[in-house]
Structures are given as C-alpha cells and as structure tokens.
Amino acid sequence: MNGVLGMTTLLLETDLNKDQRELAESIRSSGDGLLQIINDILDFSKMEAGKIEIETVPFNLEEVVVRTKKLLEVRARDKGIELCVKFDENAPKDYLGDPGRLGQILLNLCGNAVKFTKQGHVQIATQCLERSASNATIRIAIEDTGIGLSDAAIEMIFDQFSQADTSTTRKFGGTGLGLTITKQLVELMGGSLSVASDLGVGPTFSIEITLPISQPVKEQPKAAIVQVEPIRAYILVAEDNSVNQIVAKRMLENIGCRIDIAEDGQVCVEMLKARAYDLVFMDCQMPRLDGFDATRAIRALDLPRSKTPVVAMTANALAGDRERCLESGMDDYLSKPMKPEQLREILTRWLPDPEDRVVLD
C-alpha cells in the first residue's frame, strides 16, 4: 500500500493531462482511505498489547497546530470549508511532551471535523486554563459546523468499532476506531478528551492536558543549498506497469540519465542484446519472463553485456526477497517507493566510471 501511494504521489508531480491527473488523484484518495484503516487497526493492536510509547521532548504547540491545519487545508478548501486556528495569546508556546502523538490526535479530530462538515467552518482553538511556574493546563478545542451528535451518539462515540449510526460508515467510511485510539492517546499523555454537541449543531471536541513548560526551542540554522551534479548514464528500466514506467523515467531523467523502457523481461533481454546500457533496473514480477529469469538470461549473454549491473526495483519487501534477487544474479535491491536520493546512491555505487559509460547520442 505504501508503494502504491508513493508511486501515485510521484506521478502527480509529472506532466499529466486532466483525465490522467483525476485518475491519479482518485487512486491516491482511495489509497489514503485504505491506509488510514490499516493504520487504525495497527495502532489499536499496539495499544491492546501495551506497545505505545509516549515521548517527552521540547516542542512548540502553535507549530503543531499550524502543521495540522496545513495538512488539511486542501481537503477543506475543496469542500468550501473555512479552516481556522485561534491561539490564546497569554498561554505558553513551548512545552515538554510528544508532538508526534499530539499531532496525530489533532489530525484525527480535525480530519473528522472536515469530513463531517458540509459547509461553514472548522476551528482549532487553544486556551490556557491554569498556569504555574513549571506547568500549564491547556485546552485544545476542535469545533465545527457539521452534522452534530445526539446524546445517544455521544455516549458511545469513543467505543471501539462505533460510529454515530450505521449510515455513517456507508457514507463517510472508516473503521470506528479513530476516536477510540485518539481518546486512549490523550489519556496516555495524562489528559482527557470530551465532546459536547446537539444533533444538527456541530460538535466541539475538547482536549485538556497538563504539560511541563519548556524553554523555547531554538531554530536550527538552515543548511546551505548544495548543487548536485547530474549523473550522465544510459539506463534500461524493465517494468510492465505503465504508471511505474512514467515515475521511474521521470525520476531518473531528473537525475540526468537517459532512459529506455522494456515492458517485460523478454523485451529487456532482447534490448540488452541489441545495444549496451550502463545499468538495468529490473522489476521482479513481469509477464512472459519475470525479473529473476530475465537476470539469469542476461548473465548468460556474451561479454561485456553479461556484466551489466542489474538492480531489482520492486514492491516486494518481505524477508528473503533481497536474497532471492541476489541469488538470481542481480547486483542490488531497491524497494518501491524509491526516493531520488536512493536512486542516486544506487547509481553511484554500480555505474561504471564516467569514461567507461555508454556514449549518448
């Protein structure tokens, strides 16, 4: 699933026509929904097993809130909803706690608010309820103009696998675990989560938590921008999936390479027979001839073609997959979704010296 989402995100950075972009957006949206379900189940399982750990590090509360807002701005804008934040000017800004888990809590609550609100607004507001020299009790309220909740729904809303009613799952999706997980995370951090609402009037979810006050987090100096030299090489990509072909081609061209595509293992071997390449990126699962047999066929070619570096580029990431690739004669293994820096590292490791590379036309 991460591979699909990574590839779809990279695809959206390429030049697509309107229909292709809408299809890619649809795939990513569906994948996001499925990934959220998987993550909910995994988090719930960790909590049941007592495996969730809470960090204590310095963080800036306003930065966590603003980051949540930015993550949801596009979704809110697409629905015509105003997403706003309101800070208590008299409250401390810096605390000791777990900003990652707090961000997860806010993202879940605010994401639900955006999902269930057809028009109007969603607001995140912070308030300092009590303050001493070392601690502050903070209230974070997420309020929206959505569908609201009945008293009966409020009583069960934090129960596992529960939603306001059965039509909610059909209309909006989800597992019914999100709020259960959120409430447990708040409690693990020493806080409480409550909700107030009337049916037809949007709810307000309130987090109350006492945190140690921290010294302001010093901003790290920005690293100087390093100009990266392009890598000039002639690469053959064996890949049967058209989306993955586009993404791999675009990423490698951005690095500076020239790319040819082989749609299956048999075509890959024939293309390598016909001309030299500096390196082959090989998908493992392809029609006619898979990546393993294609690599064996390459190693059986005459020199110097048989010595061409072959790197697996596959979504398989289970134990033993890397070993199987190397046993077939591949030189290295790269799991999808790959990142530009990973591609650059692989190319640097396996490409011939510049003077020995294929001369490009």
Percent of the chain with pLDDT over 70: 72
Whether the CB-CB separation of 65 and 126 falls below 8 Å is answered with: yes
Q: Which of 17, 234, 239 is nearest to 248 (CA)?
A: 239
Strand partners, 139: 127, 208
Which tokens belong to 347?
Answer: 């190319």
Indicate the burial class of 190 (C-beta count within 10 angstroms; 0-12, 13-18, 19 or more): exposed
Alpha-carbon separation of residue 210 from 13, 55, 108, 187, 238 (angstroms): 42, 15, 20, 11, 56
Domains, in order of start, for the chain? 1-42 (no CATH), 53-212 (3.30.565.10), 234-353 (3.40.50.2300)
Is 73 in a helix, a strand, or coil? helix
Give the integer Cα–Cα distance in Å for 68 and 113.
12
Concatenate the DSSP letters of all residues of 188-255 into one string: HTT-EEEEEEETTEEEEEEEEEEEEB-PPPPPPPPPPPPPPPP---EEEEE---HHHHHHHHHHHHHH
Q: What is the pLDDT of residue 175?
A: 40
- Summarised one tens digit per residue, pLDDT across range 283-320 is 988 888 999 999 999 999 999 999 999 999 877 655 56
Q: What is the pLDDT of residues 38-52, one digit of tens each?
A: 454 445 455 555 667
Query: How far is it, in rounded angstroms, from Cα 145 to Cα 203?
Result: 7
- Over residues 97-118, the mean pLDDT reads 87
Q: Does the pLDDT of residue 87 top 90, yes or no?
A: yes
- What amino acid occupies position 102? L
Q: Which amino acid is located at 87 in the chain? A: F
DSSP 246-295: HHHHHHHHHHT-EEEEESSHHHHHHHHHHS--SEEEE-SS-SSS-HHHHH
Bridge-partner residues for 196, per DSSP? 204
Better-scored residue on pLDDT, 180 or 177: 180
Helix (H) or strand (E) run with residue 88 in it: none
Instruction: Quote the pLDDT of residue 163.
Output: 46
356 falls in which pLDDT band (50, 70, 90)? confident
> For position 171, what pLDDT does the model report?
40
Nearest to 87 by CA among 141, 15, 38, 131: 141
116-120, 241-245, 256-260, 304-308: segment of lowest average pLDDT: 241-245
| Per-residue model confidence (pLDDT) at position 174 | 42
SS (H, E, C) 13-31: CCCCCHHHHHHHHHHHHHH
| Strand bridging mode 310-314 / 82-86 | unpaired
